[in-house]
A and B are shown apart, each in its own frame.
Chain A
């Protein structure tokens, strides 16, 4: 699937400070029955967003009209648990393009990168200050510059790591299959030898 190209994003952020947010919270299993990639955003954080009568939970960040934007800011170990790529699809479908945390689970990180959602890893203290700042002033603009690998807001900024290959893929909208298909001959030979 060819993807959006990502260069610089300037946006306000939505804070969900909870730690260890697992992919069952991001998209509960009962909403994994679709056979397409679209429409999962409606059920993003379903059980935190709606109560058992399907009424919006008022104090949850996604239901708070003061929080808007394309950047989700969350506590450490984001995306742990199930490998469901539906979690990345739900985050993308809802409209987020960046998730900021101090630590991501491995499979989620790959899934996000494969779906034009950039996981930005920052230090614990940077994360804490960013969460505090957004909660005090929801109109704070956060800038994520992928080319230079810098996240900044107000007077604060921090360099973030991303491997060079994945950065190029995001900037150019490439995906892994394009690269693997170019190795077809080598793979055929390898397959025959095994």
Chain B
């Protein structure tokens, strides 16, 4: 599986996306979608049971068990994870995953396993996610892995079944888009702000049909974990996925990880990975450029991730919406959120702070939050949940004493899982309550029926936890 054959054409200049795609096409036939080989497949308890059922009905086996890794994350409790799951349906779903993995011979990082965690957090931390690969998972935030310079995207359960059965997926090649961010980020501005800013500029459907490559010095200067946050939210502008060409930052991160190539094999891999970068003169279907200096700490005010603004800005007015149909959706959204068109959110009281999800629950995120709250206490009106992205992140946080900082601040450090990002387990924001969340979606009811979500960076969320209201983080720095 570590044989590296990245075929680089001598003739036509190619983008990194085209190089990886073209080297994974098993069959290209006129009139048919490409049969694309999948190097790495991640599965979890929610979107896999019906796929395994499909295999059983057809009498098929898993094509290559070494290429699929399972974990339990979406529907697991984040309190007392060592005890049996109380809720019957959730318990049954996790037990079904166990049964299926055992029957079909798939490696499972189950609750209690030192490698368990959110699927998009454990892949990179275990070195399962590598440059040049094709990676899929029955989860739209699979785009996270693209930070390592690979083609990673979310798929439905019928497609999970295809990959289990054949290690391939049928796909039409999407169009390519380059998003370039140049310049220096301002004080208090982090990678979450970059991606919220981009989505606010191009809308929740602005990249539908495209695969995005993020480039520019502002992206190059980010750590691997910060890059993952950007790629993670590619789907929130409709993109099939998003990637960043690998560089020394990428190779340093991968080196020595559990399942990454080791020693001489690693060195050879790096020289192959270096060939992945987009060739000079390669053409994208669309190119967008933004100036890093224009980005501020961001917050969303509405019910899709495109409805975002700088935290110091005013919510748009209805008159600023061009179409009547847009005006109707906009008004409905603000009504749901209980906010006024044309007003500012700064100073608005909040009820919950959620630090977690595949977007922002890695160790750097927790360190960022801890640096902001060290020696401080949360406001009385807020409840704060810190849900680490994986068992390894949780252990590392304890090792560094972050748990003590959170405890002293009145934050609750929980067990790993997707938690209040999607409110599948009991971690739900109550109806009508406001939550500043480091997750990725502010859809109606996403964090619980009638819950109201403001998306923001871990730094901004930590600031809000201390003040109890929507805050410009720069005032606390």
Tell me if B73 is interfacial: C-beta within 8 Å of chain A: no
Inside 8 A of B329's CB, which chain A residues have their CB?
Answer: 18-20, 75
Tell me if B449 is interfacial: C-beta within 8 Å of chain A: yes
Known: A20-B329, A75-B325, A75-B329. A81 touches B443 (CB 8 A): yes
Q: What is the CB-to-nearest-CB distance from B233 to chain A, in angstroms, rounded to a whole number?
A: 12
Known: A77-B208, A176-B162, A184-B166. A25 touches B443 (CB 8 A): yes
Tell me if B26 is interfacial: C-beta within 8 Å of chain A: yes
Interface residues of A (CB under 8 A from B): 1, 17-20, 22, 24-25, 28-30, 32-37, 47, 52, 75-77, 80-86, 88, 103, 105-107, 110-111, 114-115, 128, 163-165, 175-177, 179-181, 183-184, 186-187, 190-191, 193-194
Give the CA-CA distance A190 to B38 in the complex, in Å.
10
Best-buried of B49, B168, B174 by chain A (most CB within 10 Å): B168
The answer to whether A30 touches B325 (Cβ under 8 A) is no
The answer to whether B31 touches A165 (Cβ under 8 A) is yes
- A-B CB pair tally, cutoff 8 Å: 187
Interface residues of B (CB under 8 A from A): 1, 3, 5, 26-27, 31-33, 35, 37, 39, 46-47, 49-50, 53-54, 57-58, 63-64, 74-75, 89-90, 92-93, 96, 138-140, 154-159, 161-162, 165-170, 172, 174, 204-205, 208-209, 235, 238, 240, 304, 325-326, 328-329, 332, 422-424, 431, 441, 443-446, 449-450
Sorted from nearest, which 9 A-B pairs have the closest CB atoms? A85-B156, A35-B49, A33-B89, A111-B156, A114-B158, A83-B154, A83-B140, A180-B166, A85-B157
> Which residue on B lies nearest to A166, using beta carbons?
B33
The answer to whether B208 touches A19 (Cβ under 8 A) is no
The answer to whether A20 touches B3 (Cβ under 8 A) is no
Q: What is the CB-to-nearest-CB distance from B271 to chain A, in angstroms, rounded to a whole number?
A: 17
Inside 8 A of A86's CB, which chain B residues have their CB?
Answer: 157
The answer to whether A183 touches B27 (Cβ under 8 A) is yes
The answer to whether A29 touches B165 (Cβ under 8 A) is no
Give the CA-CA distance A83 to B51 in the complex, in Å.
14
The answer to whether B170 touches A180 (Cβ under 8 A) is yes
The answer to whether B444 touches A24 (Cβ under 8 A) is yes
Inside 8 A of A106's CB, which chain B residues have their CB?
Answer: 174, 208-209, 238, 240
Give the CA-CA distance A194 to B64 in the complex, in Å.
12
Known: A115-B158, A191-B64. A34 touches B166 (CB 8 A): no
Give the CA-CA distance A19 to B431 in the complex, in Å.
23
Point out the residue from B53, B140, B166, B431 that lies within 8 Å of A81, measured CB to CB. Answer: B140
Known: A25-B445, A183-B168. A103 touches B205 (CB 8 A): yes
Inside 8 A of B155's CB, which chain A residues have their CB?
Answer: 83, 107, 110
Point out the residue from A47, A177, A194 that lies within 8 Å of B1, measured CB to CB. Answer: A194
Inside 8 A of B37's CB, which chain A residues have their CB?
Answer: 187, 190-191, 194
Give the CA-CA distance A114 to B51 in the complex, in Å.
13
Point out the residue from A1, A164, A186 that lies within 8 Å of B57, measured CB to CB. Answer: A1
Q: What are 27 pairs between A and B in contact, CB < 8 Å? A: A18-B328, A19-B326, A24-B445, A24-B446, A29-B423, A30-B423, A32-B424, A35-B92, A37-B50, A47-B444, A47-B445, A47-B449, A75-B325, A77-B204, A83-B139, A84-B46, A106-B240, A111-B157, A114-B156, A163-B33, A176-B158, A177-B58, A183-B168, A186-B27, A187-B35, A187-B37, A191-B167
